[in-house]
Structure 1
């Protein structure tokens, strides 16, 4: 059972159809497994459609173990059910009727209780009703009209998953699969998935020695190696350089704050369960590790009287943040418990908002160009069906949502609606970046916020001497550094542009006879600010070149007796491109030009 109908209604007709056949494929998977193994071994838990396919969680006796080697048998039974073109029919029932039907299934009983407490309708979906292939499941839908509408499908993998994602609950078995309207679409998906596996940042992060995790420190807390830390410095330094040019000022705020701060901001009521609590030996204050920078920045603004002459005030903060993510949701750098953001908060008058946002959008455009990322925007607004989720005056929300549309149109920005994706205090203009595999990731965001300044009682003195409440504009460009690094690793497949590469040049002597000259070249490059590695191993030149190519170094400088005699170097560019012999000074000039321009190749 899943309840994603609000998101389903926001999808395009094409995506709605895809969602329906994927949700139907999950029911076919469940039915096939029960047909094959019996209801005593396959105890249904849940199974939704997802962005890439579907999955099915089930419980089973300890003596039953499913493996991926069983997939062909399951797929054969699934195909039989699809070929029968069984119709799907739904009926609404009472909670008591549903409980009676699933009286031996604790997971369905849990869903029924949740639906009842949330006053949601309880629906059953029958597949092949009144036939020898009849199957029923508790589900909110929607589904395809019949199993025959599933054009092509494939089971992908097995995993463990805690019930409701809570590590305090039992570990269930999860089967992942996908479905499409046609075999061609499925094959394209599989090809892209295989390429994504090659680019998996967790594998490449280990291969290129960028980051690691430790069981002693805990899941979701990444450790950065010297090379990974260098990437942090380069990316953050680049963003900070852009911000300094626009008169943004860095601040630094503590990692811990009292609950009262987050109660005032509204985060306490909305996100308390996702925040780490801190206990003091000497204070009874309820303390938390900070999950965001916004409330702290209000207190810097409030620390002294402000005048309209001081505005706009622009604060940036690269401080660490912490969120208590569920163990089952942690995934490499994509979802962590400790992360940093290139946060910025601008305090300004209403008349200054347009200029400030235009600058923010222009800066973001420049950053996306530098990293070679295509993008579009999502206008994240309120869900009108859940007004209780949002703080502030609905009239102000109406005003800001319309204002955001005008800003997007004025800046000629392509965007689509993201109903229900707003923050609890403001709508958002969210940048959705597309990587080399066509996957979308949310990175930067801009938010025009009236709520936080009002809740904190922020004031400035206007030109007429009156007290006025500033507008607080939230902005991040790369967002979470951890997620951004994950995207870059997979986007470039580890082959970073030369300005960003932890090692820019590998010096490879042909033999020991060339080591002295190679060392001279190494120090000349190093003294000119080039990040260079000197391979003095006793391996063959061919092996050294292969190693450098495998590590995705942008350039290889090869020196032998001929180069030593002529005071030249032989240069190879990543991708087995031989640039031939050249003067070291010329090579340095070429390198510096690419580094300074932040060239992508």
Structure 2
């Protein structure tokens, strides 16, 4: 007689084994209709799962994140079902849930077209309307391999063949369609009503560029239509804000094939990039950091000591010299920072030692993963490494968290989520050390009354970490800053300081990045502001334009005074109509345009237009300079 304990603490007793669906029905008809799956002792299961012993059970509906993930996973199977009915020769491969949706990879003899996607989506809607039951089956591995081979599904057979022979495999059947999946899934296709296929792209089999190219169909699925509509609107906005298009339009940067994943910064883009560095230099100096710089290329032995060679080798660029020495372009700045600390004897009086570095790092990213500034192979990190005592560790963590959140406010990011990622399976160091490090991060957040989400197993191989996720103006999340605590690299490099009792002790090492990758943060800023950067960040603050040739000298005089006051201005003295000039410069999203005609010249004033076609009228140049200084100092600027 199983006793089922529900989330509210109430217990329901049954005289015989029951399914999750039957428990939901015993609670109420509304819940039975809304139920998608169950969570038994923290494990997700289908509604058909039988409960034979006393357990804790939560009914999962579309109002929970787990329910939405089930909807999206089931919709990926619905997509594969529709493709197989419409294109029987297509082979299905892998179809996971991703942020805001799902995808499924297919092998097919020709590219899928936009018209194909419309047809597939229509067929998905028909299959959903039919409310086809979805059921789980358990097969022997070899039986499943032979079945998929007989169906011509060679990719699926290869996946199953990689499972240990003694293990059974979980399959899901809906109508004539059968797919490999551990589940759970919705009880019938009628639960899948709100979805949209968004695009098709290329993807290598198993993510390896040496393998054949497949076709990846992306889609999104939601519980409610208004949620889908909101997401599609966000996609439209994101398309308008694409930093790759805006970067070209604004003359910030470009990419080219002979330097994949590396940025060619144009003068305006480099000015923005340097503005970020200069801002961070000031903030770090105020917070007690010193700036250092370490080599870009270092011997393999250093990376073996740090553990990167064993844990990160496939992502590193390497080179071998004539004397057979192997070097690597640094993928991370950490070993260089440890080497800096190791130079000279350190005392407890020197700690905490906060060393910042704008370090160039190089990581091999698959060509298919490269994405403008957001995913590159050569980038700059605003890295810092803090060496401190164990007693100082928690306070240093608090100070870093406070600094990160304050800096993000200056850039217009107020909505910040914090993730705590704990020990991964592939790690270095003892469990005792990991307990201490994870406890320090959690304690720092709790003492600051900061909410956080726990992500077990997602820490770095050398230590747990905090990740700071920013939400931009159109609702997208971006993981940027990180804070990691580490007692493993100091041990591996055998560094120490002289304690108060004259003994040698290991320092704790904090790894900290605020922007993360400056290239990526620049891309995020461009999209967050749709290219209309606030004045304190804008590469060009204003353009000064004449109406006719008679004002050219006054335009030059005004521009010179503004530059002397510290502002970045350009002049436009072309023999073009002023309305043409205004329209053209508006495309470049400058914060201000200054128009000078004969009246302005005679009165010794300027006519000012602010971005967004705001006519601020005439004003003395000194008044404008004070206005701009205040705007820059307060970092004003709307999103």
Judge which range, 356-365 or 487-496, deviates more: 356-365
Measured in 2, the distance between the counterparts of 1:7 and 1:208 equals 50
Q: Which residue of 2 aligns with 1:389?
A: 426
Runs of 5+ consecutive residues of structure 2 not aligned to the other structure: 1-41, 46-59
Q: Does the CA contact (< 8 Å) of 1:426 and 1:447 recur in 2?
A: yes
- Within 5 Å, which residues of 2 pair with 1:395-406? 395-406=432-443
Q: Which residue of 1 aligns with 2:552?
A: 515
1:151 to 179, 190, 193: 193
- Within 5 Å, which residues of 2 pair with 1:427-506? 427-506=464-543
1:53 to 97, 101, 106: 101
Q: C-alpha root-mean-square deviation of aligned residues, in Å?
A: 1.9
Report the Cα offset of residue 400 of structure 1.
2.2
Report the Cα offset of residue 143 of structure 1.
2.0
How many equivalent pairs are there? 580
1:252 aligns with 2:293: yes
2:313 to 269, 272, 282: 272
Q: Does the CA contact (< 8 Å) of 1:166 and 1:327 recur in 2?
A: no
Q: Which residue of 2 aligns with 1:3?
A: none
Measured in 2, the distance between the counterparts of 1:110 and 1:340 equals 40
Report the Cα offset of residue 120 of structure 1.
6.8
Question: In the superposition, relative to structure 1, how do residues 233 and 572 fare at CA in structure 2: closer, same or farther (>3 Å)?
Answer: same
Judge which range, 191-200 or 16-25, deviates more: 16-25
Report the Cα offset of residue 467 of structure 1.
1.0
Structure 1 runs of 4+ off > 4 angstroms? 6-9
Report the Cα offset of residue 116 of structure 1.
2.7
1:122 to 145, 158, 169: 169
Q: Does the CA contact (< 8 Å) of 1:458 and 1:469 recur in 2?
A: yes
Runs of 5+ consecutive residues of structure 1 not aligned to the other structure: 1-5, 129-133
Q: Does the CA contact (< 8 Å) of 1:428 and 1:445 recur in 2?
A: yes
Report the Cα offset of residue 543 of structure 1.
1.8
Q: Which residue of 1 aligns with 2:266?
A: 225
Q: Does the CA contact (< 8 Å) of 1:43 and 1:105 recur in 2?
A: yes
- Within 5 Å, which residues of 2 pair with 1:125-204? 125-128=172-175, 134-204=176-246
2:159 to 103, 111, 116: 111
Q: Which residue of 2 aligns with 1:91?
A: 137
Measured in 2, the distance between the counterparts of 1:458 and 1:538 equals 67
Q: Does the CA contact (< 8 Å) of 1:165 and 1:329 recur in 2?
A: no
Q: Does the CA contact (< 8 Å) of 1:341 and 1:479 recur in 2?
A: yes
1:358 to 392, 398, 401: 398
Q: Does the CA contact (< 8 Å) of 1:90 and 1:125 recur in 2?
A: yes
Q: Does the CA contact (< 8 Å) of 2:141 and 2:167 recur in 1?
A: no
Q: Which residue of 2 aligns with 1:409?
A: 446
The normalised TM-score by structure 1 is 0.93
Q: Which residue of 2 aligns with 1:574?
A: 611
Question: In the superposition, relative to structure 1, how do residues 548 and 191 fare at CA in structure 2: closer, same or farther (>3 Å)?
Answer: same
Measured in 2, the distance between the counterparts of 1:17 and 1:241 equals 46
Question: In the superposition, relative to structure 1, how do residues 472 and 86 fare at CA in structure 2: closer, same or farther (>3 Å)?
Answer: same
Q: Does the CA contact (< 8 Å) of 2:197 and 2:220 recur in 1?
A: yes
Measured in 2, the distance between the counterparts of 1:8 and 1:230 equals 51
Question: In the superposition, relative to structure 1, how do residues 309 and 120 fare at CA in structure 2: closer, same or farther (>3 Å)?
Answer: farther
Q: Which residue of 2 aligns with 1:68?
A: 114
Q: Does the CA contact (< 8 Å) of 1:376 and 1:415 recur in 2?
A: no
Judge which range, 195-204 or 92-101, deviates more: 92-101
Report the Cα offset of residue 542 of structure 1.
1.5
Measured in 1, the distance between the counterparts of 2:549 and 2:72 equals 61
Q: Deviation string for 1:239-288 (max 9, x for gaps)?
A: 1111112221111111111222122212222111111111212x322221
The normalised TM-score by structure 2 is 0.87
Q: Deviation string for 1:328-384 (max 9, x for gaps)?
A: 11111111111111110011111122332222222212211110102434342336x
Secondary structure of the 1:115 match is: coil
Q: Which residue of 2 aligns with 1:131?
A: none
Larger RCO, structure (CA 8 Å, separation 6 or more): 1
Secondary structure of the 1:565 match is: helix
Q: Does the CA contact (< 8 Å) of 2:315 and 2:365 recur in 1?
A: yes
Report the Cα offset of residue 121 of structure 1.
5.2
Measured in 1, the distance between the counterparts of 2:463 and 2:413 equals 26
Secondary structure of the 1:58 match is: strand
Q: Which residue of 1 aligns with 2:343?
A: 303
1:236 aligns with 2:277: yes
Q: Which residue of 2 aligns with 1:27?
A: 77
Q: Which residue of 2 aligns with 1:263?
A: 304
Report the Cα offset of residue 561 of structure 1.
0.8
Report the Cα offset of residue 13 of structure 1.
6.6
Judge which range, 349-358 or 367-376, deviates more: 349-358
Report the Cα offset of residue 597 of structure 1.
2.5
